[in-house]
Chain A
Amino acid sequence: MIVAQQKPLEEIKAMIADAQKVLILGCGTCVTVCFAGGEKEVAILASQLRMATRLDGNEKEIREFTVQRQCEYEYNEMAADYIRDADLIVSLACGIGVQTVNEQFPEKLTVPGLNTSGLSQPTEQGVWVERCQACGDCILALTGGLCPIARCAKSLLNGPCGGSQRGICEVYAERETPCVWDQIYHRLKELGQLDKMMEIRPPKNWHPSRDGGQRKIVREDLRL
């Protein structure tokens, strides 16, 4: 899923400094599941901002609303009255949601209350680890189902670099992030596919990734 983290309160406070009526707009999909921008987080942030602005001597009117999916116009229509009534909207959706609301309600500025932080898997309660970079040309069939593009700090394609020791990547200071190429090696070994480690992977075509410019999918069979 898309995961995100709330921005520091001070940063959000600075963004809303010039507004009096502020709407905190949540999203009921990915960011709800990762506890960053659902109804509950909207309520917490709203009450924090009410208190903080009161303490600063300029209490703002902070309203709350959460739509089911902020990246689609239909759902945002449900919040239209709240949006039109506010001076500024703080979106607690991912970057897609923030842009959708800006585009749909251009007369109002919608600012991000979250930092969108990847396509991740919840590996344990309270932990999300990036698994996919949406590179547009999936190679998981070659790597035992583990992605070196997202999970190797150098996005290597031809095996572990010299900084892989006892299964751990050298890049992270906490020294507990696994070296994905070590994991790929052992997975391919279990699968009896070590020959895949020996194949030379040529330079990747990064064009289907963001490097080809903004990506757009058009499905003629689905268009109206």
Chain B
Amino acid sequence: MSDKEYIVGSNLEKALKAGYFVATGELGPPQNADRHEIERKARLLKGLVESVNITDNQTAVVRMSSISVAVILLELGIEPNIQMTCRDRNRIAIQSDLLGAYALGCRNLLCLTGDHQTFGNHPQSKNVHDLDSISLLQMCRDMRDKKIFQCGEAIKGQEPRFFLGAAANPFADPFEFRPYRLAKKVRAGADFIQTQLIFNVPKFAEFMRRVVDLGVHEQAYILAGVGPIKSLGAAKYMATKVPGMEVDPEYIERMTNCTRGLPSPAEIKAMPPKEAAEARRLRQEASEAEGIKICVEIINECKKIEGVAGVHIMAIEWEEAVDEIVKQAQIGPRYDPARQQPTLAH
């Protein structure tokens, strides 16, 4: 397959085009200027996924910039997927950053509106929203395919070429509009889609049925968002506190039942320190194993849904879990015997 057939030729694009059930990962930059934590997390993901998303100040909390972390990943031989939101930058800043990101070697770009700053650690800040995710996609596609800036001026010389992604939340409302919104994003320029975390597979399947009816799955690669639940507390938090998320009560029940037979938190409190630590470890191991098991089951169910091209694994602050997930789900570069590694090299 010659490079000319690719839009950009990133690892992610090649793997998707080759028809593999693709896995991508995610890495949250640190809230400091230290690169060691990034390197540690990156090593946990290396070789397990095709590309690693790097969030852009997720939940409006100040973190190291997505593009800088992407450069660190490139140095480590990992393909980054930079994220860009419309919250903090106007069209001038976004285009400028994208010229730089391409020059630095970034090839995948996820275009987002961005979480509102109310949720972050600077709620008094002014937001920008000069663009939204859809006009951002359109601008990035025009920069790539028409070689023009948003203002219409020609880009003289190398244009920034990104394999363009967008997010979709099948669990937000109005539900009936969500497949159309996804279609709109694809029309605006999205080559691939990564969805919100799925913990309600039947609803996601219904969403995908409608997406397939619109034929959108043939115009863009759709990756189902999945992630491991670390504890019962985390499951309950996602179910009740995170807007735009739905958690099937069955998973809450399973996260509750998986520690049955082990000492309860109240019993642990009454134990001597050493025994308590051991009991806590056993509870944690049981929870984590069940969380990973659920995640793998969801991946396996997604494999059967028409139009799903792969999964986007979000194990933020639990990157260690990804190895076990891809192993059990038999996905990712390492586990696909049909993979022709040489064509996927950088």
Contact = CB atoms under 8 A, between A and B. Distances in A.
A154 B127 contact: yes
- Interface size bracket, A side: 20 to 34
A140 B112 CA distance: 25
B174 interface: yes
A164 B135 contact: no
Contacts of A202: 135, 138
Top 9 closest pairs, chain A to chain B, by CB: A162-B169, A170-B243, A158-B134, A203-B135, A156-B132, A162-B172, A162-B244, A171-B116, A154-B129
Interface in B154-190: 167-169, 171-174, 177, 180-181, 183-184, 187-188
Contacts of B38: none
Contacts of B330: none
28 contacts: A153-B118, A154-B86, A154-B127, A155-B129, A157-B134, A158-B181, A161-B113, A162-B167, A162-B168, A162-B172, A163-B243, A164-B173, A164-B174, A164-B244, A165-B172, A165-B244, A167-B173, A170-B243, A171-B116, A171-B118, A182-B173, A197-B177, A198-B180, A200-B138, A201-B134, A202-B138, A203-B150, A204-B130
Interface of A: 153-167, 170-171, 173, 179, 182, 185-186, 197-198, 200-204, 206
A103 B184 CA distance: 51
Given A164-B173, A165-B243, A171-B116, 17 more contacts: A153-B116, A153-B118, A154-B86, A160-B177, A160-B181, A161-B133, A162-B172, A162-B196, A164-B174, A165-B171, A166-B173, A167-B173, A170-B116, A170-B243, A197-B177, A203-B91, A203-B139
Contact of A163 (B116, B127, B138, B181): B116
A185 B172 contact: no
Contacts of B138: 200, 202
B135 A201 contact: yes
Contacts of A204: 130
B56 to A, nearest CB: 15
Interface of B: 86-87, 91, 113-116, 118, 127, 129-135, 138-139, 150, 167-169, 171-174, 177, 180-181, 183-184, 187-188, 196, 243-244
A159 B91 contact: no
Contacts of B139: 203
A96 B169 CA distance: 43
A203 B188 contact: no
Contacts of A155: 129
B184 A198 contact: yes
A167 B177 CA distance: 13
A200 B244 contact: no
A206 B302 CA distance: 42
A165 B173 contact: yes
